[in-house]
Amino acid sequence: MQLGFGQKGGVHDLVLLFVCLMSCQAQGLDRTQSQRHNFFVRPNEPHDAIWIVAKHDPENHCVEMYKITPEHTVAKLEACVSAADNGTSKVTISYEFTAIGQSGEDFLRTVTAGWYEKFMVGWESAMNRYLAKVGAEM
């Protein structure tokens, strides 16, 4: 599933969101330290999730990550950011889910276009909060 949405803030800041927001908070690292790590663990249900940063392409403002939730799912996340004409950034996020257990099969039955749209609203809200915080710190 894929959904794009407009986002205020610099393109570079948004790519850092994917790499830093999750890994920095999970590991207690600053931005510089997070760029030296390509995996991290985050609390998740039904088991903690292992996130792997497979590709970080700062020139094209893209990131590819995998989220492995044991006995549940493997999720591939691709996110790219581009500048929009109105001074915002366009973020395109796509997920691919593969079940690796019965709970993952059950989860996949709940993933609909409506579910994904709500999921992306959550992403957009998280990005806005992060960018507001970063902007206030600068």
> Where do the domains of the chain lie?
2-112
Residue 40 forms beta bridges with which residues? 51
DSSP state for residue 63 in the 8-state scheme: E
pLDDT one-digit tens code per residue, 81-111: 877 777 777 778 889 999 999 999 999 999 9
Nearest partner of 53 among 45, 42, 44, judged by Cα: 42
pLDDT one-digit tens code per residue, 2-58: 444 455 555 555 555 555 555 445 445 444 444 556 777 778 788 888 888 888 887
Fold of 2-112: Alpha-D-Glucose-1,6-Bisphosphate; Chain A, domain 4 (3.30.530)
> Angle 60-64-68 (CA atoms, 0-180°, nearest 5)?
170
